[in-house]
Structures are given as structure tokens and as C-alpha cells.
Structure 1
């Protein structure tokens, strides 16, 4: 059950603003304590993106910068609210855009995260911009702390976002769970442990994530305030850099901190949970949960072996059904030999139409839909399983699936 009354009080408490200042298109010197990354960073503002604070390396590196858009704690419009944390991330070669002016006042909205993405994509294409051709617009992450985490949830279905990061936050009402059902890209939670006011809400969200969605949760027992104000953002800053290096730069050494029973954060002060995580198409990691997801209602549909050396099978189950819609999962298993890809023919019940699908690529939305693997889950060893999930309108019972190995 959600703890709306408690967490709302925290999320509504916006940090008292300092006198508003203006920083226009000039880098602000870093604080006395240097960032730990290879590119010393600062912040600036742009007249083309009012009410935002832009963190970037002081000297742009030759490599393209992935983009990270951020919602502040308390939905504060002070873009310096988590300055140490965000500047640390930028120092590792990221363009980080926080909602709100430096030392700004008032509150932010989720639309400001979308504005950040729009601006960055446009600047990357604008001749004469310092960012012209310097940004990796195919690698964009959204994140936020506390109330800012709710803003990140709100924009997580933007097709340009490749991963979402939720810091000390969780949905306030069960009526908002549709935001979980529409998730299609990897998500990570970094929570302040049982003393964090958002802890129960985050666990509730974790238990309701779509089947097959790659997800990580780390709990560090520091409470709701996290470590953002510490030097270089403290421990939250360190793990945020590792996660973004993995998801936005393809750094599998950094990714090893999150994947597998012996991950870098496992057996440390972090309490770790994992779902459907792989490195380079490897075997999915164990999936422990704190609170179980709703029991699936399996409707297995065996698949013929296809008579060849490579074969696969698929099973279908309804994860959640409500008036007018449902969430379902399809599990794909390689037969006696390894496969390099798979294709599932999914025949939906009459009147059902897919509205979103994750961990697969679909052709069509109604009737018989063909779903093929993503780049990261097509190669399976003998007996290994993966899967995809989807949300649809209509009733989920009665669908059938058949699998063909690639």
C-alpha cells in the first residue's frame, strides 16, 4: 500500500531558494573540491533553454556526450540543488541538464525534462552551436530525486529515453501504476534504505514492473536525503556514474557492478535486487524480489520443434488485467541447441490491440503480431530463457504464441 500522506509531505517541501542569480553562457568554475572524472566540469545557462541549468565538461572532449536530464528533489526550480552530484556525472563526459535556473525559485514540472531533451537534440544539429555534432542523441537518460523522480517517471515513455533512474522516490498512488505498465526501457532505483520515506513506495513499484523489463534496485541505508551534497555526490554520485557509463556508453566493466550474483555492489553496504539484467547478451542475473509481483495466470502454448537443429518454445501469461486493458508476458526458451535469434507469432484475442511492448520488436498491433528479439536478448544457449512483455487494450485471456528460432 502506498504511503501518500507521509511521502507527500516530504516531496512538497521545496528547499528554500537562495537569491536568484544569472549565469549566461559562461562556465562557472568548479568548487574547491575537484570532480573525480577526467573532464573538470561546471555549469552554464542558455537563452535557448530558459529555467534550466546545464552541467558539462569545461572543455568538451572529442567523444560525443550522452545526455542526462534531471528533476530536483522537492521539484525545486533551483538547478543547483544537487550540484555536487550532477557536476560529478558531467565530469565523466556527460551533458547533464537540471530543471530550474541556478539558485532559482519556485517549482518544476515534468515537461521541463522534455524541454531539456528537445533543446539538446536541436543544439546537436544546429550549426554554430558549441554542441554541434558533439552530443550522442541516441543515448539519453532521465532521472530525478524524490519529487524529481516522479517527473522522471512521467517522461519515461519518451521514445528518445534509453533508461530511467529513480532516486529515493516512488509513485504516490496506485492509480498512477499505468506509468509502470508502459515502461519499455531499463530502469534503475537508488533508494536510501528502510529509513527513506520513499522506501515502501519504491518497493511497491518494483513489485509491479512489467515482466521481462531489465531493472536494478540498490538500497543504501542513508535515509531520504541521500549523499548528493557530499564531495562528488558521495556514494550515490559514484554509482550513478557507473550506471550511466554502462547504459549510455556501453562500458561493461561499469555494468558488472550491477549484474549477476557477484556484482560489484553485491555483498557491500548496498542491498541489491536485479531483474532481467545481462551484459552483452549473457545469462540473465537472478531476480530476487522484496514483495512478489501479482501471480501470473499462465496459458502455455507449446511450439513445435520446427524439425531443425535450432528450435525454441514460447509460453504466454497474463500478468495483470483490468477493465479495458491488460499486461502480458511471453517467455521464450531455446531448445536443445543454442540459437542466434527468435521470432514469435502472437495471436491476440479478438479486439485486443498492443499499446506498448518491451524487450522485443513488434510488427503490427492486433490480430496476429510478429515479435522479434532485441539486439541484447536474441542469442540464447541451450535451455536458456528470455522474454518480452506488452500492454494492450482489451482482454488478455486466450492469446496463443508460437516460436521460430533464428
Structure 2
């Protein structure tokens, strides 16, 4: 997640000085938003890319709006058990020498050749270089026949304190150049970028002006700064947000972003009362794991039962029956 337990305790007392580094300012020029100015790529000198926020700006933002990033909700879970996922293809974490600063989550044994696997690039909360906090979620998704390249390795020993857009781009380059083929029949035309908190903003920054990316999935995060929202004009693929209710610091920003996407662009927004931390630590990623799998199965495999879980409150196992609040638009024909 974006915050450690020590920092969460400090934030509970509203100590802005204790805010961790969601996006670290580095040497060189930082992207400066200006209506009408669209940089060629989503890269920036801060982690999370052009859609993200610097540490100093984050402190100012939180002090102004009064968000408590450490808040929890009625659906916040305790840590669950590690499994191989609930899908038909038991999954695990791998390392790959051709993508040495990442962890691969994929089925332990390649699925049958007629099962083509989409490619997902994942960014961690805080743009951390260790995906361990999200392992339960990522293994759950992979067990349904997906190959995921996540920023970082266990222990975070990549030589960097945070991941950058270039790290997620490296995942896409690796997959599209054949690196993912060892895990089974992969579909490099079915690619999504996704992530939690800073990692979600990294996912949007990585998808910006990259035609390889067909979907963006963001957990518990939206754009912080109003002056950057004009960049949403350049997002041309469907976006899904899975957020943690009004206590989630990403919640008010997602409400704005959802309304400002290009007219006609499909969007999906589901909210569960978890606060910013989500359900990642629960067995199989908890309710966010279930929601993510359903969305991916609908989008990349046209699974109608999964579509019903997301769109029909009366469908068996619907997100609404799981206490999600759901809103969506422009999905006619999808």
C-alpha cells in the first residue's frame, strides 16, 4: 500500500509532516501543466508521471482538503491467507532475468494453447519497488489466465526507492517483444496498465499516448490537482476505477475525473467502504480481487457472466450485492 503502518499512525493524528513520498521530486525539470500543452509522453521527473503529484504538493493538498489517508472503513479486511488463486490456473510469482527489476505473476503451468492470456502492467501503492503488499491480488488475477509484470521485487532491492513511468514502460516493452511468451499463449494486443494509488497514476501516465495500452484500471486513486485534469483529453481508452468510499483520499478526485473523460468514452466506477488501503491483503485480494477479475474477464474475454456481475445489481454475485456502489457510462456495444 502507499503508507506503512508507522506512517499511518502518524497520519491518524493529522500530521502532514509525516506524509510519505507518494511521488518524489528528482533532479531535472518537472512537468508543469498548462492548458493546451500535451507532452509527447507521460514520463516525468517524479514517480507516477505527469498525472501524479509531488511530495510538497501532496502535503499542501491534504492540509487543504482534510483527507486522512490512513482512514479505514467497514469493508477494510484483516490480512488473509496466501493462495495460488481461485482461478483455473494456479499462479505464483516469478523472476525473469530479462526484466530484472520486476516480478512476474503468471500461472505455474502454461494454460492450454487455446487460452490466450492478456498482459497487465502493475504499479504498487506509493510507486514502491516491492509488490509484496499486492501479491494476493496479483496471484488471484493471474490464476484466471493473465500475465502480470509488476514493478519491483520482493524486498524492494532494485536500486531505486520508487518506480517511474519508465519501469512500467519496460514491462510493456518486455511483453510486446516476446518476453511473456514463456508463460503461455499471450495476447499482446490485449494490454492494460493498472495500479494502486501512486501506481494507479503511473498506470494512467504510462497509457498516455501509448497505443499498446487498451485499458486503464486504477485502484483508490484519481488526479489530485485540478490544473492537470485537462490531460484527460488525451486518454482514449476505457478507464475503470475501484475506490474505497468517501474515506478514501482518492474518492473526491475520482468523482471529478469520471465526469471529465472525453464524451462517449466508456468508464466504470465502483466504490467500496475500505478507505485508501483497499482489500489487497485479504485472501485472493478480497472484494477488490473479485471485482478486478470480473472486469478483466468482461473486457478481454467478453465473458457475459462477468459483465453481469459488474453491471446488473440483480445478477448472482453482483458487486452491488457485495456492497459496492456502482456507476458506469458509454458501454453500449462493448
Aligned to 2:201: 150
In the other structure, the counterpart of 1:253 is 305
Is the 1:11–1:146 Cα contact (8 Å) retained in structure 2? no
Aligned to 1:82, the other structure's residue is in SS state helix
What is the correspondence of 1:267-306 to structure 2 with a 5 Å cutoff? Answer: 268-278=322-332, 281=333
Alignment size in residue pairs: 255
Which structure shows the higher helix fraction? 2
RMSD: 2.3
What is the CA deviation profile of residues 149-170 of structure 1, one whole-angstrom value per residue up to 9, with x for unaligned ones?
A: 1101102231111111010011
Q: Deviations over 1:48-73 (max 9, x none)?
A: 11210000000010212111110000
Residue 174 (structure 2) pairs with residue 119 (structure 1) = yes
Q: Which runs of 4+ in 1 moved over 3 A?
A: 8-11, 31-34, 260-263
Deviation of 1:175 after TM superposition, in Å, equals 2.5
**TM-score under structure 2 length normalisation:** 0.71
Indicate which of 99, 109, 123 corresponds to 1:49: 99
For 2:201 and 2:168, locate their aligned partners in 1 and report how far apart those are by CA, in whole Å: 11
Q: TM-score, normalised by structure 1?
A: 0.59
Please say which structure displays the higher CA radius of gyration: 1
Find the aligned partners of 1:187 and 1:67 in 2 and give their Cα distance: 16
Q: Using the alignment, how far apart are the partners of 2:97 and 2:174 within structure 1?
A: 11
Partner of 1:9: 19
Partner of 1:213: 265
For the pair 1:172 / 2:227, whether they are aligned, the reply is no
Cα distance change, pair 44–124 in 1 and its aligned pair in 2 (3 A): closer
Q: Does 1:188 align with 2:240?
A: yes
Alpha-carbon distance in 2 for matches of 1:195, 1:149: 18
Match of 1:236 in 2: 288
* Higher RCO, 1 vs 2 (CA within 8 Å, ≥6 residues apart): 2
Seen in structure 2, the aligned counterparts of structure 1 residues 10 and 277 have a Cα distance that, compared at 3 Å, is: farther
- Asked if 2 retains the 8 angstrom alpha-carbon contact of 1:11 and 1:73, the reply is no
Asked if structure 2 preserves the Cα contact closer than 8 Å seen for 1:72 and 1:145, the reply is yes
- Structure number with the higher strand fraction is 1
Aligned to 1:297: none
SS in 1 for 2:236: coil
